[in-house]
Each structure stands twice: as structure tokens, then as C-alpha cells.
Amino acid sequence: MPMQLNRDDLIRAYRSMATIRRFEERVQEEFSKGGIPGFVHLYAGEEASAVGVCQHLGPKDYIASTHRGHGHSIAKGCDVGGMMKELFAKQGGLCGGKGGSMHIADLDQGMLGANGIVGGGPPLVVGAALTAKTLGNGHVAVCFSGDGASNQGTTFEALNMAVVLKLPAIFVFENNQYGEGTGFSYHCGSRDIAGRAAGFGLPAVKVNGDNFFEVHEAAHEAIERARSGGGPSAIEVDTCRFYGHHSGDAQLYRGKDEVKNLREQRDCLKHFRTRVSEAALLEADALDAVDAEVAALVDRAIVDARAAESPDASELLTHVYVSY
């Protein structure tokens, strides 16, 4: 097993991935029932990416996220109860119910926000990395983007600027094969995000996102390079999503049995369980206990979120400015 992950590390990784999976599956159910306003974009299927990267980060390291931000938030340490309340637009939500799923953020955990703009995050991560470099505090900034954002001009500008200023930034492209409902093989001219990133002059690798350990290893190398002053890197994670672009997407663009096959063949949690069991690192009982624990955590978060109050009407006018 690479990286000499100890038992606690493995449990922590599995707990994080399992929490994301449970969170997204329950959000899908609750969204269908009603009660979650707006749009939610679910991360199930991609857990190994967020967790494989964020395992190397502390609360003072920064991440920027995408529309599909629940997984990154959980992996970065955001409170699941506060997240669920935010999705339900309730008091006590991470953003007081004023951001919602698409803008979920927690600066105390270094989570600079999901982003409603595809390609909105990369320039911001350049800035967070510039802060780290200027203050010389050894922190790094990670930008999660989808394959869709890999085509945005802001992404190209950010990659170049990170190289020019030699910033401690890591650009993780989660290639789930779809930009909304348009396939990767159509929308990405070179069909090679890592190769395109490398063209900007930074080390770029492609990893299998079904394999937590592969993501973890690549992220370790990139993050250590950034921390030690070696500049930015890019990682393309080949992954898949088990739900549509957003919850409620009829997914007419998918092939027959595509999702069924993905769930059977490309489930990064199943892959993790198999690996750690075969290597006799964790027993099934321990993993089952984690599943039960996170199920209870997420289920309680939903009960609490449903019971919580909506924001007070006075909140409409607060937090536009620090002072005005």
C-alpha cells in the first residue's frame, strides 16, 4: 500500500467518503420529497477525488469548489449539520441560508465556496495561493474544477498566472465525463485535460478516480511540491457521477444502463473496501461500523434541518457590506 497509511488514516478516509455518499443519497431523496429549494448537484461517485486530495490539507489550507461542492465541503471538514441546514435554507446553515448548495462555504475550514459560475474558482485559488506565498505560511490552495470548467478562459488564465508567479496552487480537474449534458469526448478538443494543463508549464498527471489510493498519492506529491516552494501542479481525475448534472436531471444523454454499470464497476467506495480488505488493513466490521455511524449522522442532520427555522426576514438586508 503506498504512502504507509495507518489504520486511523484509512478509517478517516473511509468515513469521509462514506459521509459524502450517504449525504448525497439522502439529499437526493429529500430533494425529491420537497423541502430543499433551488438546485442541487450531487457528487456521489466522485468521493475518492475530494477525499484523496483533502486528506493532505489542514483547515488553513484553502480549497475552491464547483457547482458540485458538497463532497469537497465534507472532505475539507465542514460540519454536516450546518451543511444540511444550508441546503434546506435554514437558520444555522453554514451561510445562514443565504448561499445554498451552489454557494456553500466555510472560511473557517478553508472552504472558499462552491461556485455557481463554471470556471469561477481557478482565479480565486490563484489569489488564495498568492496570500500563502506572500505571508510565507506554508499553506496551499487547491482548486477543484470539472471537465466543463477545463474549457473556460478563466481556467487558462489561472493556470498561466499560477506558473508565472510560482504559486502553491493545485488544480484538480474532476473529469466525470460530462459538462452538464455534453460529453467530454465532444467538448474537450484535445480529450486530454492533463496534457492541456501541462502546456501551461506545470507538472500534470492523470489518475484513476475510482482508486482512492491513486488520487491520494498524486495529491501528496503535488501538495508537497507546492508547500516546499516548487510551484503549481495539475491533476486530472478520471471519475464518474452516479446522478445527473443536477438532481431531477432526466439524464437522457446517458447510454442505456450507463449508471447501473458505473455503480457496479466504478464505485470508489467499493474499490476502497476491496483494497483494504484484501490487504487485511481493515475488517468489514470496522467499515460497517463507519457506515452505520455516518448514516446516523446524516439522518440526524436531515431531521434537524427540517426542524430548523427559516432565516429571519431581517436577514434579507444584512451582510451586503461590512460597513455602508
Q: Least separation, in Å, of the C-beta of 313 and other proteins?
A: 15
Q: CB under 8 A: which stretch of 33-41, 127-135, 234-242, 250-258 binds other proteins? A: 127-135
Q: Which of residues 116, 138, 183, 199 is near other proteins by CB under 8 A? A: 116
The dihedral formed by the CA atoms of 276, 281, 284 and 287, expressed in degrees to the nearest 10:
-80
Q: Is 310 a residue that touches other proteins (CB under 8 A)?
A: no
Q: Which of residues 4, 185, 314, 323 is near other proteins by CB under 8 A? A: 323
Q: CB under 8 A: which stretch of 105-113, 180-188, 248-256, 259-267 binds other proteins? A: 105-113
Q: Which is nearer to other proteins, 93 or 231 (CB)?
A: 93
Q: CB under 8 A: which stretch of 120-128, 194-202, 272-280, 300-308 binds other proteins? A: 120-128
Q: Which of residues 12, 98, 220, 263 is near other proteins by CB under 8 A? A: 98
Q: Which of residues 80, 105, 218, 302 is near other proteins by CB under 8 A? A: 105
Tell whether the torsion through CA atoms of 248, 252, 255 and 256 is positive or negative.
positive
Q: Which is nearer to other proteins, 21 or 139 (CB)?
A: 139
Distance (Å, whole) CA 140 – CA 68: 21
Cβ atoms < 10 Å from Cβ of 290: 19
Q: Is 131 a residue that touches other proteins (CB under 8 A)?
A: yes
Write the binding mask 78 to 97 for other proteins: x where contact by CB under 8 A, - elsewhere: ---------------xxxxx
Q: CB under 8 A: which stretch of 69-77, 113-121, 198-206, 280-288 binds other proteins? A: 113-121
Q: Is 199 a residue that touches other proteins (CB under 8 A)?
A: no
Q: CB under 8 A: which stretch of 110-118, 198-206, 245-253, 274-282 binds other proteins? A: 110-118
Q: Which of residues 120, 146, 168, 209 is near other proteins by CB under 8 A? A: 120
Please work out the total of residues on this chain that contact other proteins, with binding judged by CB under 8 A: 50
Q: Is 320 a residue that touches other proteins (CB under 8 A)?
A: yes
Which residues are CB-contacts of 74 (< 8 A; sequence separation ≥ 6)? Answer: 16, 19, 20, 23, 50, 80, 83
Q: Least separation, in Å, of the C-beta of 120 and other proteins?
A: 6
Q: Which is nearer to other proteins, 252 or 324 (CB)?
A: 324
Side-chain half-sphere of 185: how many Cα atoms within 13 Å? 0
Q: CB under 8 A: which stretch of 69-77, 121-129, 186-194, 264-272 binds other proteins? A: 121-129
CA distance readout (Å), 211 to 208, 215, 276, 281, 314: 6, 7, 12, 16, 47
Q: Which is nearer to other proteins, 89 or 205 (CB)?
A: 89
Binding site residues, other proteins, CB under 8 A: 62, 64, 93-99, 103, 105-108, 112-113, 115-117, 120, 122-135, 141, 153-154, 157-158, 160-161, 164-165, 318-324
